[in-house]
Structure formats: structure tokens, C-alpha cells
Amino acid sequence: MFTGKMPFEAETVAEMTRQRQESRVTNPTALIGDLDKNVERAILRCLEPDPNKRPASALALAASLPGSDPLAAALAEGLTPSPELVAAAGGTLGLSPKIAIPALVGIAVGLIAYCVATPHLHLLNFVPMENPPEVLAAKARDLAKSLGYTERAADSISGFFADGANIYYVAGNGHNAEDWTRLFAHPPTGVGYWYRQGPAAMAPERSTSNGEPGILDPPVSVPGMISVTMEMDGTLRRFTAVPPEREAAPPEPPPTDWSPLFTAAHLDPNQLKPAGPEWTPLLATETRAAWTGTYPGRPDLKVRVEAASFHGRPVYFQVLWPWTRSTRLTPENPTTSETLRSIANYAVNAIVLIVALWVAHHNWRTKRGDLRGATRVGVYCAGMSLIAWVFRAHHVGSQAEQTLIGDALSNAAFLFVEYWVLYLALEPWVRRYWPQTMITWSRVLASTWRDPMVGRDVLFGILAAMAYLLLLIGSGYLSLRSGSPTFAEFSLPQLGGLRVFSSSIAGHLYGEVGGSLIFFLTLFLVRALLKKQWLAGGIWVAGWTAVRILRVNFSSHDALLDTALFWVLLYTVLVLIMLRFGFFALIVANFTLDTMAGSFFTTDFSAWYGESSLAIVILIGAIAVIGFKLSLGSRTLLDTALET
């Protein structure tokens, strides 16, 4: 049509096939000198030997021709473009290597900088991680046997924990990194390990547990259950054992030998003074005892030890600190502001759900909703939640497993409905008034994973997250220098091994969709009200910064200003992602950010706790490399040399 000549001329089908496979099409501009470059590019894409490199549809071909923008035409006529039309809009040409290579290098530099800097900035990283969980579990079992509990356990569970009150107390006694390194080098550190075993399967009972047991779930109530809490170096902090429901009392109960417990706690009873018991264990006891004094090597740290026994065997032993408070006897009542905040949170969620149901029904009735896209989003999130449950749950070979399966399926069904409704309510309006931000996402839902725009948004989403993380490093450094180090709530359960790590990744993969929807929904609403894109972005940043600041009580105006500046910078990064690249890039950035910021990082990859750090670096690096490769499209690295 454009040149008046056929691309290939042959008299038989076999000859035509051979020419298409072995011959190269003459560039149309060689025949027609003034042919538009975009037209030539479209013709050559239609003649690609590889069908995957040809336009996916007539819409995609029309969108690549000069002067033709079906999406703009639909918007100009006041129509809501179809998901297929949105997916076909935008370019399909890959990034120039001059852009893609620096982006990949920036990601690599960000990964290295974050891995190197993080272990020196957060308090939890100052705690020596001496023993892997297998060693700590063996220590707990050996302690139980030394106390006379030699019965073989039918099941056991364990995990890590962080005691924030302990960490803040210790941090308050230091003023610089050297002080905190010295203070956290020895117990009490605030980071520990708990181990439980029992005579039967230990299935969690909380409806919100998602199959994951805890230090108090299932309740410590079955005779034969044993619970041990210790520091990371194995120093005992708490021991409980549920005595038999029925057992004849010995004629003369032998005196209780507390020495194994004091030895395990690294305490010398001769250096402590006997005291009257004050803490009552939730166990049957015959003898109770208590001691007070100071912790060895820390004359400024008072310590109290409570213990109890039943029929001559210890059933309770706990080391109590100045920061220890009883939540059972004196529960912490919420303040008025906390109560109002909780009520407001539930009220807002209820209103959002009701409005979403109404809008989703309207979109469905008017046939504006993307039912296929909403279903795919719902199925994806529900499926990922089940995968996360499979890895995270403590599966048992008993009837309780059916309850766990039922809870997991009901949770997945709820997630499906929740995401299906929210997507069906929100997506048509964004597609009507702001479709440019949904182009890549529409292609992802259409399963065109190898599209260059998908690779571009993966690459720049990770790069933006690296910039976000570098801001976190800067904030952590300033906090450390100012004497207020960061207590980062790392995902300590990730130290439990590959199974828990995989569950965490699966959880992020579907959780980020919901979090990104909230961010995107609020920005879309502000933009719809203000009409001006960058003004809406500024208001959005200010609004979310205010929400963050109102959640914290600041001791000084300087701390308030520093925190406000920090959140402004962070939300600016997010709004730039949404305005420049769209919804899919925001999901990628949030996934990268939460996966890395919530992990216990170290540069000692050979250590037992270094596996999760190495796994995250490999994961994010691999995703970045895949995004880099996809973003090039049909371009190659040789194109850079040719352009030069």
C-alpha cells in the first residue's frame, strides 16, 4: 500500500515461506524516501518472522501509526475506553540501552549501599546472633530434660521475638553507636527465641492466626506442655511446664532444685536475696519462691526472679526486669484518642466498603466494569494468600488441620470478594479519566508479560524503591547521630528459614496490590477534585505526611520538622512513580520497599541469619535483570554502539 510493491514475491507457498525465513525485507524508506519513520517501523513490525514481535491487535497497530491515537479519540468523545484499548495505547518500542543500563547500575548501587549501611544503623543489628534456631531448640529441650521432663514430645513450635520495651530501655542508657554496641553485646538484648513442645499436635486456635502458632497460641494449658524463652545466646528468660492433671502427691516432696534454671539464666542465687513472691503463674503450684538483686555485670540494672514448683519439679521460672509489666493483672487501657482513632478507622473502612459495593454494582449494571480484570485480580490475591498460608501455617496431622484449611479458604474467599469489589469500583473511573496510568497494568492483566513497557515499569519501580531506601538510610544515620537510633521492626520470623521467608514473599506479592490501590485511589480522588495533576500530587504528599505525623507524639519541634521532611521526601518518591509511570510501577516499588525494609539485613551472607539477606538480594536483583531485558524490547546492547 505504501510502496506499491510486495515484501516477498514467489510463485509457490514453499518459496514464499523460504523467503520469509531466509530473506530480509527491504526497508520501505529505501523505496519511498519521504516515508514517515513511524509508518516504516509499523510495517516492519507487521513483517517480523517471530509472531510475538508483531502487533498484538489492530488497535495496537493503529496506535503505532502517526496521527492515530484511539485512546485520545475515545476520551475526546467522552467514552470510557475498553481495557483492550488502554492496553493497546502507548508505545511498544523498547528503552534505549543508554537509559536502561544506567537504571540497572543504579539498582545495583542501591542494593549494595543498603546492604552495607543498614547493619550499622538499627538497634536490632547490634545484637549478636550467635546460635541458629536449631541450636536454640536443642538447648531448650536439654533444659527440659535436666529438670525431669524426659517424655518425648509429639509436636513442637518455635519462633523469634523482639521486646520493644527492653530495647528502648537499653537504648536510653547509650548515647552513640559505641555505647549501644557495648550494651547490646550482652543480655538482656530484647531479641530472643521461644520454643514450645507438647504431648499432642499444637494447632493455633486464634481465628486471625492464619495457621501460624505463637508463644501463647495454642494456650499453655494441656498437661505436658513446656515453654522456654531465651536470649539469642541461649540465656534462659522464662520456663513454664504444665503439670499433670492427675498425679498422686509424693509422701514427702523432695526439695526443688533451682540450680539448673539459675545456671541456664546465667545467674548466681548466692548473689541474690530471697524475697516474697509477687507474680502468680497460671499453673498449679505447691512451692513458690522469689529473689531480687542486680544483674551480673550491670550494677545499675535491678532484676527479680520468680519461681514455682509442683511435686518437687519446677513448673515456673521467670527473670523480671524494671520494664516488665503484667498485662494480665493490669491491662493497658486505650486512651481516649486511641479509642476514637480505632472507631474512626473502622467507620472509614465500613463506609469505603459500602460505597465500593454501590459503585461496583453501578459499573456492573452499566457494563463499564472490567469483570475479567477484576476476577483475575481477585483470583491472584486469593491464590497468593493460600500459597502464603501453605508456607507459614503449622500443619498438624490431626482433626485440627481441617479447621486450619477452612480458615485459610474463608480468608482467601474474603480477599477475593474484597479485591474484586474494590477493583470493579475503582478501575473504570481511572480508565475513564486517567487511563495513561493503567496502560502497563492492563497489559499485565492481558498476560503480555514480555511487553517492553512491563519491563520498563519493573526497572524504574525498583529504581525508585532504591531511592526510597537510600532516604531511609539517611534518616537512620541522622537518628543515630542525634542520639535517637531507629528501632526498626524487622520481620524476625524470616529468620525461621526458607519456608517462612517464602510465606513472607507471597504475602507481599498480594498485599502490595491492596496497599497500592489505597495510594492510587486517594491520589485519583484528589486529582479528580483539583483537575491539575501536579497540584494534586503536592496535596496528596501533604495529606499522607499529616496522617503519619498525627500518629506520633514528638518531644521537640526539631524532631517534628525532621520527621515531616523525611515523610515529604518519601511520599514525593511515591507520587512521582504514580504520575510518571502508573499503577503497576507503584506495585513493584512497594513490593521492593517492603520486602527489603522489613528484613534483617547483614553483609555476612555466610552466617546462618545471612541466608534471608542473600535471598532478598538475589530476588530483587533477578527481577531487576528480567525487567532490564524486557525493557529493551527488540533492541540490543549493540544498538548503543550503532547509535554512537
Most confident of the following: 28-42, 410-424, 560-574, 604-618: 410-424
Q: Edge to edge, what strands does the sheet with 155-162 contain?
A: 155-162, 191-198, 226-231, 236-241, 313-320, 298-310, 287-295, 273-275
**Would the pLDDT of 363 be above 90?**
no
Q: List the one residue out of 5, 1, 264, 309 whose CA is nearest residue 140.
A: 264
Segment 544-560, tens digit of pLDDT = 888 777 766 555 565 66
Q: How confident is the model at residue 562 (pLDDT cuts 50, 70, 90)?
A: low
Q: Using an 8 Å Cβ cutoff, are 8 and 26 in contact?
A: no
**Would the pLDDT of 195 be above 80?**
yes
AA letter at 375: T
Q: What is the average pLDDT across 162-183?
A: 74
DSSP state string for 576-594: HHHHHT-HHHHHHHHHHHH
**Would the pLDDT of 129 be above 60?**
yes
Whole-number pLDDT of residue 296: 86
Q: How confident is the model at residue 80 (pLDDT cuts 50, 70, 90)?
A: confident
**Would the pLDDT of 101 be above 80?**
yes
Beta bridge partners of 228: 195, 239
DSSP 333: P
DSSP state string for 526-549: HHHHH--HHHHHHHHHHHHHHHHH
Give 605 or 142, the one with higher predicted confidence.
142
pLDDT above 70 covers what percent of the chain?
A: 88
Average per-residue pLDDT in the chain?
A: 81
Whole-number pLDDT of residue 295: 87
Q: How confident is the model at residue 485 (pLDDT cuts 50, 70, 90)?
A: low
Give 356 or 193, the one with higher predicted confidence.
193
**Would the pLDDT of 227 be above 90?**
yes
Q: How confident is the model at residue 305 (pLDDT cuts 50, 70, 90)?
A: very high
Q: List the one residue out of 593, 566, 585, 591 whose CA is nearest residue 627.
A: 585
Q: How confident is the model at residue 543 (pLDDT cuts 50, 70, 90)?
A: confident
The residue extents of the domains of the chain are: 1-54, 93-126+448-644, 131-320, 343-433
Give 272 or 19, the one with higher predicted confidence.
272
The answer, yes or no, to whether the previous bond of 81 is cis (omega within 30 of 0) is: no
- Burial readout 62-93 (b: 16 or more C-beta within 10 A, e: otherwise): bbbeeeeebbeebbeeeebbbbebbbbbbebe
pTM: 0.78
**Would the pLDDT of 588 be above 80?**
yes
**Would the pLDDT of 428 be above 70?**
yes
Whole-number pLDDT of residue 379: 93
**Would the pLDDT of 488 be above 70?**
no
Beta bridge partners of 4: none
**Would the pLDDT of 644 be above 80?**
no
User: Beta 273-275 vs 236-241: how paired, if at all?
Assistant: unpaired
